[in-house]
Structure 1
Amino acid sequence: MSGPDQRIVLAPDDGSLGPLLRVADDRLDPHTGYGRHEHRAVDVVAVVLAGSVRHRWADGADVRAGDVAVLRAGAGLEHDEVAGPDGARVLQCYLRSAAPGAGPSHEVHCAASGWVDLGRPDARLWVARPGPGASVTVPPGLLLVRGVDGVLVEQQAGRDVAGPAAVLVWQLDVGRPAWAT
């Protein structure tokens, strides 16, 4: 593979999930990347499931398995992400920008567990990684479970999820943002 092996997990084209535009399950071979590309008016929340990626923008950042990186493109930026020596597995979650005219920024939440502060009022993210034989009680919302058999996506009211898995729950405001009215 010369670039990412990307599998789209979720891509509502009707706006039914408010700011959540798409979720992709990406695999990168060691030392391969996406290639330099541009983002504008989008927030990209990258949940690193395995391996690591080097984010190449501004001062750069290393993002490892268990970390959640939040890239706010705002008015626009060009960047790349390149896998480390063991490759990478990343859930890339794309959201409509909460501040499309703002300057770009990048923040890494190391070893994220529980609620991750995305700095926006219309989307909340909860993450957990139950190990083999363990389970976790998840909050209500849009559940994404990356387990050994693939990715499960379902709207749910809260329940137990068994590991081993990476578990994400999105709580989303499905109304239109103030700037879009």
Structure 2
Amino acid sequence: MTGPDGRTLLEPGDGSLGPLLRVTDDRLPPGTGYGVHAHRAVDVVAVVLAGSLTHRWGTAAPLSAGDVGVLRAGRGLDHDEVAGPDGARVLQCHLRAADPGAAPAHEVLQAPHGWVDLGRPDARLWLGADGPDVPDGVVLRTGGPVVVWSVDAGRPDWAG
């Protein structure tokens, strides 16, 4: 494999998951990235399942397995993500931007467990071990941590 290999896990396209637009399970070989690309009016939540990843925008932000990167594209930005020496496996979760007119921003949350505060009222992320305490929501079993999205599933204006 010479570049990212991704598998789409969710992409409803009809607004049925509220702000949650798409989730992909991406695998990147060592030292490879997506290539510089643009985002606008989207929040991208990257859950690093294995390996490491460096987000290249502004000051480089390294992420390790278990970390969560929250990219708020707002008015728009160009960036890349590049896998570390052991490659990377990452869930890329795309949501409609909570504030599409805001300045772009990026935050790294180191190894969160349980509910993750994303600073938005319409979507929450939970990370943890599989078992009876996994909360209800959009449950993604990854072979590592369980990832759960709790979203306001009210149909957004754009869904008609």
TM-score, with length taken from structure 1:
0.84
- What is the number of residues matched between the two proteins? 160
Check if 1:15 corresponds to 2:15. yes
Residues of 2 paired with 1:77 and 1:88: CA distance? 23
TM-superposition CA deviations, 1:111-157 (whole Å, max 9, x none): 11001111101000100145xxxx4511111111112xxxxxxxxxx
Whole-Å separation in 1 of the counterparts to 2:29 and 2:60:
20
Higher relative contact order (CA 8 A, sep 6+): 2
Larger Rg, first or second structure (1 or 2): 1
**Cross-structure match for 2:151:** 172
- Give CA-to-partner distance per residue, 1:5-31, whole Å, 9 cap, x none: 011011001110000000000000000
The whole-number CA distance in structure 1 between the counterparts of 2:69 and 2:3 is 20
| Matched residue, 1:121 | 121
Q: TM-score, normalised by structure 2?
A: 0.94
Question: Contact 2:40/2:76 (CA < 8 Å) preserved in 1?
Answer: yes
Q: Which runs of 5+ in 1 are unaligned?
A: 148-164
The percent of aligned pairs where both chains have the same amino acid is 68
CA distance in 1, matches of 2:112, 2:76: 26
2:42 corresponds in structure 1 to: 42
CA contact (8 A) 2:15 2:159 kept: no
